[in-house]
Structure 1
Amino acid sequence: MKRIFTVLAFTGILISCNSSDKTKTATQESATTETEADSSSNDINPQLKPIDTDEALIATALMAAPKESRAQSKVIGYNMAGEFVTLREGDNEFIILADDPKKVGFSASSYHKDLEPFMARGRALRTEGKTEQEIFAMREAEMKSGQLEITPGSTLHVYYGAKTAYDPETSKVDGAQLRYVVYMPFATSKSTGLPEVPVAPNHPWIMDPGTHKAHIMISPLPEDSE
């Protein structure tokens, strides 16, 4: 009889231990899941806001210009009402084109003021309903006739990305990066020594060679891949 009681008591202890272990394991798994959830939620930057005011358009557009030039740069572009206006006056060598809030993604650019006649001509032709091919042909003819001019070496800075949220404290757009265009009208691979296609990441190359719009493309690697 004693043996029976001993066996029953030992069995009860085992069941109690197993139940305790399962409860402990379940508690640990629950705590781990909560920790992972907390970690995942912490990856979302609560500072990010939509670009939904003219002030936000200006702030994010300025990121396309060199830091030392932003304070005095003129900013133009579409406001939140859909009107193409001067968003902010400026008096240095840069003109900044703000992102178009009606288009998908983000794209702002800054360029030397001497490029404005060329840029303005393109905007005017688009407003007239001309296709990109027509605009290219018309500006090429106007460049060759002397009606339009691009100073070789004039640079366009493009700040772009797929997302449209930004950090109001830094004005940085989530995931956006810079690309540079150096205009070299009618230059070719032979005249510059540059390839006509990128041969490696972060390597300059010449696009639209031999045309009025020939330019050197420089696309720095994204910050998170360096």
Structure 2
Amino acid sequence: MRPGLIILLLFASFSYSPGQSSIPPKDIQIKVAVLAAPEENRKGAKVYGYNAQGEFTVLREGENEMICIGDDPKQNGLSVACYQEDLEPFMQRGRELKKEGKSFREIFDIREEEVQAGSLTMPDNGATLFVLTADEKEVDWSKGKVLDGNFRYVVYIPYATVESTGLPLKPEAPGMPWIMDPGTHRAHIMITPPKD
């Protein structure tokens, strides 16, 4: 083998970035992201995901009230979510603050202050977040299929309390709804169906 070709091959191997090859094609990202949504909302949902450079971006504009977030290729395992569009200001603000390097507690406190000040809106009548997670081995990325996943449902009801809902602070049986962060801007009902 010629020395020039050897040097070229060595350079190519050092410049290869395995992270770039782990970003699925746009159509597969969309197919997997919308699996978190109710079936009747999947076709017209807006979908965020990642471009070839790993940047968070809109993969598809929406035609209904559902917004879906694709799997982060830098994280192990699968986690996709879909939510009602009235939650978008809350979710978008969280993404902005996370990008700024804010901690979970800082994000919580900043959004709480902004909701109370009226500069950040939350849905008046509640809005639902649907989450689908799975181990990496349970995802067939070549076909965009999740072989075995877990669902979780979150219904945001700002400033709701145990007293106003009758819900407990923790589940007392598998799949039982309970309230998290009661009395705050992000008070929500948690429902995690038991895995078969």
Question: TM exceeds 0.5?
Answer: yes
Amino acid at match of 2:73: P
What pairs up with 1:173-212 in 2 under 5 angstroms? 173-212=146-185
Offset at 1:115? 0.9
**Residue aligning to 1:166:** 140
Which piece of structure 1 moves more, 148-157 or 134-143? 148-157
**Partners of 1:167 and 1:82 in 2: CA distance:** 16
Offset at 1:103? 0.6
Offset at 1:133? 0.7
Offset at 1:176? 1.1
CA contact (8 A) 1:74 1:94 kept: yes
User: Does structure 1 residue 111 correspond to structure 2 residue 83?
Assistant: yes
**Residue aligning to 1:99:** 71
Q: Runs of 4 or more off by more than 4 Å in structure 1? A: none
Amino acid at match of 1:128: E
**Residue aligning to 2:186:** 213
TM-score (norm 2): 0.82
CA contact (8 A) 2:32 2:146 kept: yes
TM-score (norm 1): 0.72
**Residue aligning to 1:154:** 127
What pairs up with 1:34-45 in 2 under 5 angstroms? none
The C-alpha deviation readout for 1:1-53, integer Å capped at 9, x for no partner, is xxxxxxxxxxxxxxxxxxxxxxxxxxxxxxxxxxxxxxxxxxxxxxxxx8732
Q: 1:70 aligns with which of 37, 42, 61?
A: 42
Offset at 1:178? 1.3
Amino acid at match of 1:148: L
Instruction: Give the alignment's Cα RMSD to 1 decimal.
Output: 1.7
User: Does structure 1 residue 90 correspond to structure 2 residue 49?
Assistant: no
Amino acid at match of 1:139: R
Offset at 1:81? 2.5
Distance 1:122 1:167, change over 3 A: closer
Offset at 1:55? 2.1
Q: 1:141 aligns with which of 98, 113, 128?
A: 113
Offset at 1:66? 1.0
Q: Gaps spanning 5+ residues in structure 1: where?
A: 1-49
Looking at secondary structure, tell me which structure has more helix per residue: 1
Count, aligned residues: 173
Offset at 1:221? 1.9
What pairs up with 1:6-17 in 2 under 5 angstroms? none
**Partners of 1:157 and 1:80 in 2: CA distance:** 26
**Partners of 2:193 and 2:142 in 1: CA distance:** 24
Amino acid at match of 1:82: G
**Partners of 1:167 and 1:115 in 2: CA distance:** 28
For the residue of structure 1 that corresponds to 2:83, the secondary structure is strand
**Residue aligning to 1:7:** none
